[in-house]
Amino acid sequence: MSAEFSNAYQEILLDNLMSIIKQNFVFQTQLKLTENAGKEKNELQNQYNELLAKYNSIEGEIKNIESYKAKANVNDSAHSEKQRIQAALNEQMKKNTGLINELEERKQEIQQLKEYISKLEEIAPSSKLKKINPEKVVAKEPESAVVEPAPTDLFKVLTDGSTF
């Protein structure tokens, strides 16, 4: 073998070795990046699974909260209805109390007027009363006209032995 061939052979061998080493470095770098990407992918997958589990559990809680919210809305409407009814009841009670007070006042006024009328009837002569209210005078006269005998007179008649 000649020296030139040997030099060219060694040169090509060295070039090939350098190419192989460069390819090996590139390949190892790609492997390392791929390993990191795989680890990151696994970590992201784990985080995704955790978040999905949390989401599912929160979703159930959201349904419970929505049902509580619906109940709260129903309670609010029931409370407002209760307030409306209570206000109407209070108003009616005030009106009722006012009417009862007015009725009592009217009864007292009627009673006072009746007392006043009876005093006036006692003062007025019977001839005037006949002109004003003939029914009252007629009703009063028979009461005063009827005279009942004393119980002692009746007892004497029966003990005498006389008959009617």
Write down the pLDDT at residue 110: 96
Looking at residue 145, its pLDDT comes to 47
- First CA to last CA distance, the chain: 195
pLDDT, tens digit, for every residue of 41-72?
A: 999 999 999 999 999 989 989 989 999 999 99
- SS3 call for 13: helix
Angle CA 40–46–50, to nearest 5: 140
- CA atoms of 69 and 54, how far apart (whole Å): 22
Task: Tell me the residue length of the chain.
Answer: 164
- CA 9 to each of CA 15, 22, 116: distance values in angstroms, whole numbers, following the listed order: 10, 20, 154
CA dist., res. 58 & res. 117, Å (int): 86
pTM, two decimals, is 0.40
CB neighbours of 126 closer than 8 A, spacing ≥ 6?
A: 137, 140, 141
Residues in the chain predicted with pLDDT less than 50, given as ranges, are: 141-146, 154
